A and B are shown apart, each in its own frame.
Chain A
Amino acid sequence: MRHAAKTPIGLALAAVLALGTVACGDSSSGGAGGQSGSGPQIGIDLPRADSDFWNSYTKYVPKFADEYDINLMSPTNSQNDVSKLVANVQAMVSQGAKAIVMAPQDTGAIASTLGNLESRKIPVVSVDTRPDKGKVFMVVRADNRAYGQKACEFLGEKLGGKGKVIEFQGSLSSINGRDRSEAFAECMKTKFPGITIFEEPTEWEGAKAAAALQTRLAQHPDINGVYMQAGGVFLAPTLQVLRSKNLLVPPTDPKHIFIVSNDGIPQEFEAIRKGEIDATVSQPADLYAKWALYYAKAAAEGKTFQAGPTDHDSTIIDIDNGLEDQLAAPLVTKENVDDPALWGNQIGK
């Protein structure tokens, strides 16, 4: 109780300090968004700010909004939390959004919000994930099954149809992780039955992947392939483990472990150039932003779309609660890693 007298002043000081910090954060993180174009207002919620992929997506949003002359509201960020997403959507609706772009990471819990938006006649474009229930105007998403498929075919070919492969699965509660895991397992089973697969659940955590890899290498020192479902989180830990065991050797060495990744971030391209990993599937961050905004604008203007092939090298398919434009995701290897069209090569230029 000795310090009781000092406390109010101290608290005030602490509050000022805290406010100062917040203000700093604000001024440095601004930039994206703001009203630019004409026409109906379009709201966008970004799913998270802590992954390389989504940060690139975030950077592409204002660019394509300018290109399509869209009246974009300031983007909100739901920090991977569905309750924040719901609150953000409500705010956008009350501010007069005529169409909403979102990327619900929890595909089940968004259903009632989608129902609500449908009753208000506000079309929704869902990026990267396909909501389990609830009406969506369009899902813009890479064909995640193709990721698993391409990774399997590449590894199977390089290993000559036999060997042991360790697979870092994402989270099984996300549709993207599930699609990749299922397609990979299915393809391996039918096309390369001689390859043994070790499926490691990681919840998208690099530390768990590194632990699983260490353990598996102790158990099976002859592992010769790795499939990681997200380069952003698994790349550095995997390389670090292999480096410590002196297993990072060029593809010509018989001890080489073939590694296929998913994401297409610049660090993966760098690793491909150095010969540390062999391939990745580039998830098109630029196309996500581009087509999400395109469809959102079209929806607000009352246009409609049909299932079938599109003019941009993809296919629109019918899903129960709307349509889905399945964008192509290219396999990147040493041969095409310098292709300037890949989004990973455009970052920071």
Chain B
Amino acid sequence: MTGTETIAKPPRTGGTRPGGGRLPLARLRDFALVPAILLLVVVGALIDPVFLSAANITNVLQQQTELALLVLAEAIILIAGKFDLSLESTIGLAPALAVALVIPAASNGLGTELPAGLAIGLCLLTGLAIGAFNGLLILRFKLSAFIVTLGMLIVLRGLQIGITGGQNLFDIPPSVLYLGSAVWLGVPASIWISGSLFVLGIVALGYFRHGRSVYAIGGNTDAARAAGIRTDRVVWVVLMIGGLLAALAGLLMTGRLGSVAAAQGDGMIFTVFAAAVIGGISLDGGKGTLFGALCGVVVLGLINNILTLAGVSAQWIQAIYGAIILVALILARLTSGKAQD
């Protein structure tokens, strides 16, 4: 291992940020969305003073926690140069399977009635296993990540409907509800969890060896491998972390909504990609930062909130929502001055 360490250094700086002198510009890209966020805050405050109240801001953040975790997962996977579309099904299947294993058959459970204390562990384990299985297909069998995870998206959703018989699960054990509904120090626990995981992700990807190697792999896999990075192992771990984060997001969503809907997470992957791309993550891998992705999530959350507060008519809300996303992209392009990809 000591041997690989020294060789691993060159791609770390060379592969991701060609030329040390351009580093400030790359940093600027992280903050490209900050003007858009400030603009949204001003617009929100003008539309309704309630917008700036602590309660409302807390609501916005809490509603975005599950999306934030999925975006965190997707951003890391995208940076590593892979895709995971199946996250939107994991967010439903993981809690559904865990809950179905612990609740009685009369409440649409599987009848195994395992102790309720195991539910959270089962849920996270399911997410981890899904990520590992994705990794097996993508890395071992060399299948296209896009198609594999598209297939998994359908399979996992189908499994959830098969396991629950298509029913919403209402009878949720309190332990599963806890994380999504608890309040720590006056702020919902889910905000603490998502926030600290983002900080952890930013630090890990920005300053740690394994984190930096994710960029190197996404930028140029062959170069990274030549430099001694165990590319497959790192990507595999990244995919497993992705599944784990999606399962955690599923727990938070279940706690917030008080049930596991049969369609939980359905269609969410589009929003996940929108947030990641608005936040400056490149679909080609190797570029973008988690802070940028987080900004993307915040932008989408603020837009939603403002449209609700403004009472935009139901027929027009989707058109306006889409248009604002485009404006945010243009604004980010103007302020960062760099071509988007």
Contacts and interface: CB of A to CB of B under 8 A. Distances in A.
Given A50-B262, A218-B55, A240-B181, A232 B140 contact: no
A50 B314 contact: no
B106 interface: yes
A267 B170 contact: yes
B309 interface: yes
Interface stretch (A119-127, A199-207, A312-320, A334-342): A199-207
B179 to A, nearest CB: 13
Interface of B: 48, 50, 53, 55-56, 59-60, 62-63, 106, 136-137, 140-142, 155, 158-159, 161-162, 165-168, 170, 181, 253, 256-259, 261-263, 304-305, 308-309, 311, 313-315, 317
A218 B140 contact: no
Contacts of A236: 168, 170, 257-259, 261
A207 B168 contact: no
A148 to B, nearest CB: 14
Contact of B56 (A50, A215, A235): A215
Contacts of A51: 166, 168, 262
Given A200-B308, A216-B308, A236-B258, A52 B137 contact: no
B225 to A, nearest CB: 11
Contacts, number: 108
A23 interface: no
Given A211-B304, A215-B56, A243-B181, 7 more contacts: A14-B136, A21-B155, A25-B162, A49-B166, A201-B314, A211-B308, A218-B50
A348 B257 contact: no
Contacts of B140: 3, 6-7, 10
B121 to A, nearest CB: 23
Given A210-B257, A236-B259, A218 B162 contact: no
B168 A52 contact: yes
Interface residues of A, number: 46
Interface class of chain B by DSSP: helix
26 contacts: A3-B142, A7-B141, A10-B141, A14-B141, A28-B162, A29-B162, A50-B161, A50-B166, A51-B168, A52-B166, A52-B168, A172-B314, A199-B314, A207-B253, A210-B257, A211-B308, A212-B308, A214-B63, A218-B55, A219-B309, A233-B261, A235-B170, A237-B256, A240-B256, A240-B259, A243-B181
Contact of B168 (A29, A232, A348): A232
B167 A55 contact: yes
A184 B18 CA distance: 61
A21 B257 CA distance: 30
Contacts of B313: 199
A189 to B, nearest CB: 16
Nearest to A220: B50
A20 to B, nearest CB: 13
Nearest to A232: B168
Contacts of B258: 236-237, 239-240, 243
A240 B257 contact: yes
A243 B53 CA distance: 21
Contacts of B53: 218
A197 to B, nearest CB: 10
A218 B59 CA distance: 9
A304 interface: no
B239 to A, nearest CB: 16
B314 A169 contact: yes
A244 interface: yes
